[in-house]
Amino acid sequence: MNLRTLKKLSKRAAPLLPLLGENRQQFRSAHARTGENYHHTFIGDRKHWERSRCHPSYEARNGWAGCGNRGAEIVYQTRAGHTVVVRPPVHPRKGTVMVGGMSGYYEPEWDEEDAWSALECIVCHHFSEWDEELETFYLTRPLPTVTSIFQAADEIIAELKRGASR
């Protein structure tokens, strides 16, 4: 996935979120250079990763724990001898639909994510169960593709409408 795809998926997911009970504020992200907004989706297409110079002693980190080594930073030397680090982007493209709101009781903080991540989280939570033997969650329905997540969201909405009409 790349940032352009994330923007399109977020635009498609935005109208479904209020129907699924997501009542956080929806807004469009600012330009990525401002550093104001953060998305929670792993962008695996390395062509779109952010590149910046770093100190020669810099060591690569992996900020994406669930992705194995795929999300690890790459540190390399250019032909000119400069040390460069390449890492997955954390800021969405300008205009990506985001959802956010204040969370916390004693020290409330602003929490935001892209609309696609919010929809994916709601759908996966709806179709997950707790396995007491393994002490972990598992999906009751396979959700391997974007299409399957949108179909599952439509089914949840239809189920909620049937329940409301009774």
Each residue's pLDDT tens digit, 53-77: 988 888 887 766 655 667 778 888 9
User: What's the pTM value of the predicted model, to 2 decimals?
Assistant: 0.83
Angle CA 127–120–27, to nearest 5: 140
Q: Residue 153 pLDDT more than 90?
A: yes
Looking at every residue in the chain, the average pLDDT score rounds to: 88
In whole angstroms, how far apart are CA 19 and each of 92, 152, 153?
24, 13, 9
Q: What is the pLDDT of residues 77-112, one digit of tens each?
A: 999 999 999 988 888 889 999 999 998 889 999 889
Rounded Cα distance between 148 and 146, Å, is 5
Q: Which residue has 């929806």 as its token pair?
A: 26
User: In the chain, where are the structural domains located?
Assistant: 3-37+94-165
